[in-house]
């Protein structure tokens, strides 16, 4: 196989773009290859002025796109393999014409017309070559180029096979009936990017896409998926796909990126479309950025004088391709001496290895005889087959297998007579091409039918620049859309180099995360990812980062001081084992014991005048009721139960009513005794020993009726009070009916007030043993205690409320005991001389 350049290759060639095809190989069947191998200065003239002078009038400076040269070598490698294969297209050789493509309408049309015309003259609708041997065009590294080329090629029904990124827009066979796409579908690419963003907890993202339908589709897919996952888009930039606009766009476009506070950028597009980033000198201010590149942007591909320090640490979603057997070995053997007629290889070699050309003679001996492509740095050449090269390799095989099927079909239809069966037309090739399906040498299934194209799998590569200025792409993860959930995305965080300015994962958020115990407060007019952090209100917690709302703890728990955790509340009640409970119980038992001693004294000295003068029965009744008054306070100590709650207020109400009604009866008896001793007084009819008994029974009976109604309607019950005391659950007795409770207290108060009034009126009655003064003072103490009890009881909660009631019971009972009986005991025990019958004036009624 012999390679030769065009007829001008022997001349001094200052620029390749004037030579089309750059490299060609004649054979039985030939197809056109359109690759982006170098760029030229873009014509600033637009409109009709483009056609005022011949396109090749001036030779413009060009710039090598070194990395793309692997695509040309992939073509050579595939052609050589096919021509050596005895089972594929036997006795038929394949050849190609290689053209350079540009991101400009004029250049694209120029190259396409030149291919169709078959000569240096651009003559529409006329071909200077044999049309039967030219069957297909392989080209279209971008959607824009595919559309520009396809518009012209479709007029002649010429098959065009695009090797660039898959674009669903180009699948419309109504608009593009002659266009086929070989790249795998990347409809899940945005999901992989979202996986990466969520893994590193970024939520403030800048998105840069190409200004075409493919970029617009990716933009909308990202917006939808980001909205689902709580990720915000800080801004979007659309890069024009035409080189003509790059220079003008750079003045506005690059400052917006460099001055933005956004730290994470997602870039979607191919290498040629992202010319503005490849050729722009980004200021040092932009170095602290995280770049996420997708699919076909080769970040290492840039002009020689530019550095990529600002892109150090970039994460790239690259197609995960199978390794084609023999390709790396082939690359190692490629040298200008092996393909001596290939001026493209010679020009690449001279430029890439910076060979001196003192006399301007490109036919001079190539420098560094032992040089090979594997010696070149990553920015010049990559020995690993790129995604585009892999697609081109599959595309050439697809054309070969389609031709093979077509020739086998034709040979079966007619006898082989010379080469007449080769007389085919390109429009007939469509039927065979669209049904082509095969397994390549790497074992992957390849289909030209776009509906059968597989979903792309991605390797996540990390672009690293080492201190010695060498570059490398290190695989740090994978994204396999078809894998089961949880296994589709893998990343090795420790293997990622973020750049020289960061040793840990950069923060890509609009606002710092809210810690547990705080909630997010959205900022008015800002995106949802921009917020302030406010502490949770009292009684609420947030246990997660970036909580939208705080939540209340369950009833049996309470927030800790940090308000990020609910702690179990401590169950508490007035326990007899704690100091307060023990003290109150001790006081209650002691006072009841003291009351019992007083009762014993009165029983022992029951025949003395002072005991007789004060109605022994009422005294005994009052003392016994006071014993029970002291002891009933014990019902309030300990964990409340249903029984204790039923007994607490009712027993307290009844025994206190008996005590107060006994005092009332005592007071009434004193009044009756002194008023009834007057001659002719009608009060004498009431002077009966049983009057006092009736008073006690009637008054106590009324209270018992109140308590019975209370217990029959809304009885007290134990309940857990979770709100009164922070961090505690108070087990207490609920009165059931507050109205009934205050009726019981009010009735006792009414009796006490009546006793106080009657005793006050009888305070000045003459008698040595007249106890009206003592009763008056005891009722004053009693009423004072319970008057102060009510507001205090209402203002306290939990154990304090129970303690207040116990104190009121003990204090009022002790007041009655102390004011009424202690003076009498003093006389009985210490002053027996005062305890004689002569001093009593009411002995006759006792």
Hey, what long-range contacts does 814-817 have (CB within 8 A, 24 or more apart)? 814/591, 815/778, 815/781, 815/782, 815/785, 816/622, 816/626, 816/659, 816/663, 816/778, 816/781, 816/782, 817/591, 817/594, 817/595, 817/598, 817/626
- Is 763 among the domain residues? yes
Residue pair 35/97 in contact (Cβ under 8 Å)? The answer is no
Q: Are residues 105 and 48 in the same domain?
A: yes
Cβ pair 713, 737 in contact under 8 A: yes
pLDDT value of position 615: 74
Q: Does residue 493 lie within any of the structural domains?
A: no
What is the chain's alpha carbon radius of gyration, rounded to the nearest angstrom? 53
For residue 548, being part of any structural domain is answered with yes
| Domain's final residue, options 403, 418, 452 | 452
3-state per-residue secondary structure call for 596-660: HHHHHHHHHCCCCHHHHHCCHHHHHHHHHHHHHHHHHHHHHCCCCCHHHHHHHHHHHHHHHHHHH
Based on the fold, state whether residues 408 and 528 are members of the same structural domain. no
Residues 745, 637 share a domain: yes
What domain count does the chain have?
Answer: 3
- Alpha-carbon gap, residue 549 to 32, rounded angstroms: 63
Asked if residues 519 and 550 have their Cβ atoms less than 8 Å apart, the reply is yes
In a domain, 92, yes or no: yes
Compute the distance between CA of residue 684 and CA of residue 258 in angstroms, rounded to an integer. Answer: 113
- For strand 204-210 and strand 264-268, is the pairing parallel, antiparallel, or unpaired? parallel
Residues 663 and 796 in one domain: yes
Same domain for 807 and 681: yes
Beta bridge partners of 290: 264
Task: Clarify whether residues 687 and 761 are in a common domain.
Answer: yes
Does 722 fall in a domain? no
* Nearest by Cα to 79 from 357, 399, 374, 300: 399
Token output for 207: 């998105």
pTM over 0.75: no
Q: Do 527 and 586 belong to one domain?
A: no
pLDDT given for residue 799 in this prediction? 79
754 lies in the same domain as 795: yes
Alpha-carbon separation of residue 663 from 625, 660, 685 (angstroms): 11, 5, 21
Q: Are 607 and 547 in the same domain?
A: no
CATH number at residue 776: 1.20.1070.10
Q: How far is CA 185 from CA 22, 160, 488, 521, in A?
A: 31, 18, 16, 41
User: Residue 424 and residue 406: Cα distance in Å, rounded?
Assistant: 9
Complete DSSP assignment for 561-588: TTSS-EEEPEEE---TTSHHHHHHHHHH
Q: Give the three-class secondary structure for 28.
A: coil
> 764 is in which domain, residue-wise?
579-717+735-845
CB–CB of 266/294 below 8 Å? Answer: yes
- Of the residues 568, 592, 610, the one at which a domain ends: 568
pLDDT for position 717: 87
Give the span between the Cα atoms of 203 and 520, in whole angstroms: 14
Q: How far is CA 535 from CA 511, 521, 680, 699, in A?
A: 16, 10, 85, 59
Query: For residues 192 and 479, what is the distance between their CA atoms, to the nearest angstrom?
Result: 6
606 shares a domain with 560: no
- Tokens representing residue 548 in the block: 């939208």
Print the SS3 string covering 90-132: CCCCEEEEEEECCCCHHHHHHHHHHHHHCCCCCCCCCCCCCHH
CA distance 371 to 376: 9
Instruction: Indicate whether 664 belongs to any domain.
Output: yes
As averages over each run of 10 residues, the pLDDT of the chain (846 residues) reads 33 52 84 83 56 56 81 94 91 88 71 72 64 78 80 84 86 87 89 94 90 86 92 85 52 70 86 62 59 78 57 87 91 87 84 64 56 86 90 94 87 58 69 89 88 86 84 91 89 87 82 90 86 90 89 87 88 85 90 90 82 77 88 87 86 86 78 57 54 82 87 86 79 84 84 78 57 72 77 77 85 83 82 64 39
Considering the domain architecture, whether residues 544 and 590 belong to the same structural domain is answered as: no
The domain boundary residue, chosen from 533, 568, 603: 568
Distance separating alpha carbons of residues 251 and 266, to the nearest angstrom:
21
What is the number of other CB atoms lying within 10 angstroms of the CB of residue 54? 8
- Please indicate, yes or no, whether residues 74 and 169 belong to a single structural domain of this protein: yes
Contact 342, 23 (CB under 8 A): yes
> Residue 819 falls within a domain, yes or no?
yes
CA 592 to chain centre: 66
Phi (first) and psi of residue 423, to 5 degrees: -75, 80
Q: Please, are residues 134 and 68 in contact by the beta-carbon 8 Å criterion? A: no
**286, part of any domain:** no
What is the four-CA torsion angle of 374, 379, 383, 385, rounded to 10 degrees?
-170
Decide: 311 and 289 in contact? Cβ < 8 Å.
no
DSSP state of 212: S
């Amino acid at each position: 196989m012999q390679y030769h350049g065009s007829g001008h290759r022997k001349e001094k060639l200052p620029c390749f773009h004037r030579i089309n095809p750059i490299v060609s190989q004649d054979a039985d069947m030939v197809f056109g290859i359109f690759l982006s191998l170098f760029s030229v200065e873009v014509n600033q003239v637009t409109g009709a002025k483009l056609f005022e002078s011949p396109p090749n009038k001036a030779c413009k400076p060009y710039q090598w796109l070194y990395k793309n040269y692997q695509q040309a070598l992939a073509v050579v490698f595939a052609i050589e393999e096919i021509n050596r294969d005895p089972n594929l297209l036997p006795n038929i050789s394949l050849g190609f014409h290689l053209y350079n493509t540009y991101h400009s309408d004029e250049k694209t049309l120029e190259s396409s017309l030149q291919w169709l015309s078959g000569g240096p003259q651009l003559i529409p609708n006329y071909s200077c070559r044999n049309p039967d041997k030219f069957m297909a065009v392989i080209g279209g590294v971008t959607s824009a180029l595919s559309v520009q080329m396809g518009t012209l090629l479709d007029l002649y029904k010429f098959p065009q096979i695009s090797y660039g990124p898959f674009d669903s827009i180009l699948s419309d066979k109504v608009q593009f009936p002659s266009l086929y796409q070989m790249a795998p579908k990347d409809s899940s690419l945005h999901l992989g990017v979202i996986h990466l963003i969520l893994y590193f907890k970024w939520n403030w993202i800048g998105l840069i896409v190409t200004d075409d339908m493919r970029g617009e589709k990716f933009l909308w897919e990202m917006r939808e998926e980001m909205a689902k996952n709580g990720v915000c888009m800080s801004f979007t930039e659309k890069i024009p796909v035409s080189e003509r606009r790059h220079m003008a766009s750079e003045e506005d476009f690059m400052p917006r990126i460099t001055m933005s506070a956004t730290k994470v950028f997602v870039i979607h597009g191919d290498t040629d479309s992202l010319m503005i980033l490849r050729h722009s000198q980004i200021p040092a201010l932009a170095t602290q950025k995280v770049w996420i590149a997708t699919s076909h942007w080769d970040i290492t591909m840039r002009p020689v004088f530019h550095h990529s320090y600002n892109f150090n640490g970039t994460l790239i979603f690259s197609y995960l391709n199978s390794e084609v057997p023999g390709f790396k070995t082939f690359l190692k053997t490629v040298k200008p001496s092996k393909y001596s007629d290939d001026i493209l290889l010679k020009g690449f070699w001279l430029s890439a290895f910076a060979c001196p050309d003192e006399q301007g003679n490109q036919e001079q001996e190539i420098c560094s005889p032992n040089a090979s492509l594997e010696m070149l740095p990553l920015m010049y050449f990559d020995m690993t087959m790129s995604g585009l090269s892999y697609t081109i390799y599959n595309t050439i095989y697809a054309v070969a297998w389609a031709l093979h099927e077509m020739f086998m079909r034709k040979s079966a239809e007619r006898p082989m007579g010379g080469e007449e069966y080769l007389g085919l037309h390109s429009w007939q090739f469509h039927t065979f091409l669209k049904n082509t399906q095969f397994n390549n040498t790497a074992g992957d299934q390849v289909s030209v039918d776009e509906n059968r194209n597989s979903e792309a799998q991605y390797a996540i590569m990390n672009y690293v620049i080492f201190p010695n200025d060498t570059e490398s792409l290190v695989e740090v993860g994978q994204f396999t859309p078809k894998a089961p959930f949880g296994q589709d995305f893998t990343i090795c965080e420790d293997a990622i180099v973020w750049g020289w300015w960061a040793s840990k994962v950069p923060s890509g958020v609009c606002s710092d995360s809210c810690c547990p115990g705080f909630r997010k407060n959205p900022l008015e007019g800002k995106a949802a990812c921009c917020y302030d952090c406010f502490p949770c209100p009292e009684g609420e917690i947030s246990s997660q980062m970036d909580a939208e709302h705080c939540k209340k703890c369950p009833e049996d728990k309470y927030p800790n001081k940090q308000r990020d955790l609910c702690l179990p509340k401590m169950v508490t009640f007035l326990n007899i084992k704690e100091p307060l409970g023990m003290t109150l119980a001790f006081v209650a038992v002691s006072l009841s014991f003291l009351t019992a001693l007083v009762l014993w004294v009165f029983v022992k000295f029951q025949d003395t005048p002072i005991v007789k003068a004060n109605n022994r029965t009422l005294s005994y009744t009052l003392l016994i009721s006071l014993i029970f008054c002291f002891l009933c306070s014990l019902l309030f100590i300990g964990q409340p139960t249903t029984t204790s709650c039923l007994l607490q207020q009712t027993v307290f109400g009844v025994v206190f009513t008996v005590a107060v009604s006994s005092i009332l009866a005592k007071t009434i008896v004193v009044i009756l005794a002194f008023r009834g001793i007057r001659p002719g007084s009608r009060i004498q009819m009431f002077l009966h020993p049983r009057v006092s008994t009736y008073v006690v029974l009637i008054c106590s009976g009324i209270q018992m009726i109140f308590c019975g109604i209370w217990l029959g309607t809304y009885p007290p019950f134990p309940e857990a009070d979770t709100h009164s005391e922070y961090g505690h659950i108070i087990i207490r007795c609920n009165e059931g009916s507050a109205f009934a409770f205050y009726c019981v207290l009010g009735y006792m108060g009414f009796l006490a007030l009546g006793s106080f009034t009657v005793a006050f009126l009888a305070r000045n009655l003459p008698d040595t043993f007249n106890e009206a003064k003592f009763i008056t003072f005891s009722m004053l103490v009693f009423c004072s205690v319970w008057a102060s009890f009510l507001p205090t009881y209402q203002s306290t909660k939990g154990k304090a409320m129970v303690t207040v009631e116990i104190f009121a019971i003990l204090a009022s009972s002790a007041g009655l005991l102390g004011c009424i009986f202690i003076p009498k005991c003093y006389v009985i025990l210490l002053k027996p001389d005062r305890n004689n019958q002569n001093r009593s004036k009411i002995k006759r009624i006792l």
